[in-house]
Amino acid sequence: MDSDGIFSRLNFDWMDPGTMYYDFFNLSEHPFRLTIDPKFLFLSSSHSRAQAYMEYAVRNRDKLFILSGEIGSGKSLVIQDLLTSLDDSTRAFRIHQTLLTNVEFLQMLLREFGIKSFHDRKVELLDQIYTYLVEQHRKSKQIILIIDEAQNLAPDVMEEIRLLLEFEKDGENLLSLFLVGQPELNEIIDRPELEQLRQRARLRYHLDALDEEDVKNYINHRLSVAGGKHTVSIESDVFPLIH
C-alpha cells in the first residue's frame, strides 16, 4: 500500500486540534498531512534501498539513474531527502513539467540554469548547455538534473536527453540525470528505440508498496513525530484493515 492509500483509510477527524484524537494521542499537530514535510520522513526497507542506490549514483557520477513507483509510493520523499543531503560541491536542478517539445525542454533547462536564451534552434541551445556544464566542471561542481513524471516525456525529448548524457570533459561526465516516474517509465525505457539511452543507466530501482509491517511502523512513526506517545496502543488486527 502507498501512503496516500493509508491516509484514505485513516478516516479520523485529525484536522481539529480539539478532537478526542489529538487528546488521546497527545498530538501537537496533524500527523497525516498530504503535503511533504521532511521531519515526517519514514524510510521503509524499499525506501532505504532506493536512497542507497541514489547516493551511489551521485557518488560515482553516473550518467543516468531511473526511479519508478506508483503514485504515493514515496518517490518525492526520497528525492527530497537526497537533495537535502547534497553538499556545496553539487548543484541539483529539478524539472516537473514534462509535456514539452524537444526545443521547449532545452529552453526550460537553460532557464533552470539561470540562463536567458532567445534561440529556437537545437544546435545553439545544446551549445549553451554544454558551455554552462563545462564552466561548472571547471568550478568542481557536479550537476544533477532530476526530471519528475518522466513517463510523459516525448520520444524526441528522450533523444535530447541521450545527447546531453554524451557531454564529457577530461574524461568525466558533465551531467548526472535522474528520471523519476510511474511504473510505465520502465516500459518506455525498455523500448528497442531507446536502447542507447537505456545503456547509460547502470542502476534503476522500483519503489515497492509498503507491506503490513511497514504500514504499522509508518503510522506509529508519524504519530510519534506529531507529538504522540512513543508507544501508541493500536490493536494489531487494525493494521491489516488499513493495509
Contact 219, 6 (CB under 8 A): yes
The reported pLDDT for the residue numbered 220 is 81
- The residues near 81 (Cβ < 8 Å, ≥ 6 apart) are 38, 41, 43, 51
Q: What is the pTM of this model?
A: 0.80
Would you state the cell numbers that stand for residue 61, as one nine-digit string? 557520477
- pLDDT tens digits, one per residue of 196-226: 999 999 999 999 877 777 778 888 888 888 8
Sheet holding 176-181, edge to edge: 90-95, 142-147, 176-181, 64-69, 201-207
Q: Residue 237: pLDDT band by 50, 70, 90 thresholds? A: low
> Which residue has better confidence, 227 or 14?
227
Across 1-15, 70-84, 184-198, 229-243, the highest mean pLDDT is recorded for 184-198
- pLDDT tens digits, one per residue of 164-207: 999 999 999 999 999 999 999 999 999 999 999 999 999 999 99
Integer Cα distance of 195 and 65 in angstroms? 15
Domain spans of the chain, in order of start: 3-41+210-242, 45-207
The reported pLDDT for the residue numbered 182 is 97
Integer Cα distance of 1 and 215 in angstroms? 8
For residue 117, count other CB atoms closer than 10 A to its CB.
Answer: 15
Contact 203, 59 (CB under 8 A): no
Q: Name the CATH superfamily housing domain 45-207.
A: P-loop containing nucleotide triphosphate hydrolases (3.40.50.300)
Under DSSP, is residue 203 helix (H, G, I), strand (E, B) or coil?
strand
Across 8-17, 117-126, 186-195, 227-236, the highest mean pLDDT is recorded for 186-195
Is the pLDDT reported for residue 101 higher than 80?
A: yes
Burial 95-108, CB ≥16 within 10 A → b, else e: beebebebbebbbe
The reported pLDDT for the residue numbered 45 is 86
